[in-house]
Amino acid sequence: MTEQKKENIYNLKQLNFLPLEFNYTEQQDFSWFAECNESFRKNVASKKRVFYNNILFDELKYVLNGPIPRNFVINIRGKIGRKTGIFKTSLGLFITKSLDPTFNIKERLAFSSDQLNAKIERYANRKQIFMMDEALRDLKFGNELITSNIIENCREKQLCFVLCGVQERTLTFSDYFLDRIGESSDSYLPKKTVYFSVSKEIEFKKEYRGYISINLPPLLKDKNDDWNNMWKEYMFLKDEHEKKVIKQQVTGFDFEERANRILKNKKIIEAVFDGVKINRQLLKNIIYKIYPDITNDNRKMIYTHIINTEIT
């Protein structure tokens, strides 16, 4: 590393009373980004734009509570060093709860786009934040379409979103990306300070604006307070979700749940089923009308499930 890159890393380590600890791989990552991306070098590595905390939170509060119907989307992801176990969810919960005190795990947190859609249908009002923690990867393009459409259709209600590690390979639906820079030493536990860069995508190019530094509430398993109770509830739901994933009972696209919605609709069943046979073409048309934002393969899965279900 050149002296300039070493200085950048040294400067970043001195920005908080809980100093960052860069291992060798993280030093390489940081130096590479500083070399290859001008906005990262100017606004993150060089300290010209130090803390973005107030700017970011003021913008988010204005969008959430403003008089004009708007919404924001934040995607929290890995960048420097490892991609997992980097406090994405902790940071997401901290931001969400700070901006929206009414947030709760049961009603507002989902592990897939289908879960998110179901919770919005059941619990959404106005000017709220929902959170999606992508514990399950779905490589299908249709899943990105679903997420994008959910976000767009919630703008009028000013429903905002914090996403944790959600893929945006073919579509960009986030306003802000928070990418990990580093964290304080484990020797300071249970205190933990995390650093994430703040970027936006403009004309298919990522522009870094600065970085945020958040002192997360102590994660104490035995402590009984609002933060730790919320964390325990999150871990319980995540464990239950992962058990289903291990048993292969969950996919990113829950075609059975969508098919069952149609099967419960008496008007649709009466229209497509005459008591003897199903009008298959009409059923396909209805599925397309109800779910225009999914892929043909996903619609075929819904159709097949309905056809194979005994209708009475």
DSSP 245-293: HHTT---SS-HHHHHHHHHT-HHHHHHHB-SS-B-HHHHHHHHHHH-TT
Considering Cα of 61, then 63, then 69, then 71, what sign does the dihedral take? negative
Which of the pair, 45 or 90, is modelled with greater confidence? 90
| pLDDT per position as a tens digit, 101-122 | 999 999 999 988 888 988 998 9
> What domains does the chain contain, in order, with CATH numbers?
3-246 (3.40.50), 255-307 (no CATH)
Q: In the chain, where do the E strands start and end?
A: 73-77, 109-110, 129-133, 160-164, 176-183, 192-202, 205-216
Say how far apart CA 284 and CA 293 lie, in whole Å.
Answer: 14
The predicted model scores a pTM of 0.78
Categorize the per-residue pLDDT at 156 as very low, low, confident or very high, splitting at 50, 70 and 90: very high
Kindly report the number of other CB atoms within 10 A of residue 261's CB atom. 14
Q: Would you state the pLDDT for residue 203?
A: 73
Mean pLDDT of 235-264: 76
| pLDDT per position as a tens digit, 31-61 | 888 888 889 888 888 765 567 899 999 999 9
Mean pLDDT of 21-35: 83
Q: Would you state the pLDDT for residue 296?
A: 82
Q: Would you state the pLDDT for residue 17?
A: 45
Q: Would you state the pLDDT for residue 275?
A: 80
Asked if residue 14 has pLDDT above 50, the reply is no
User: What does pLDDT average to over the chain?
Assistant: 83
Categorize the per-residue pLDDT at 177 as very low, low, confident or very high, splitting at 50, 70 and 90: very high
Categorize the per-residue pLDDT at 1 as very low, low, confident or very high, splitting at 50, 70 and 90: very low
Q: Would you state the pLDDT for residue 15?
A: 43
Mean pLDDT of 219-230: 79
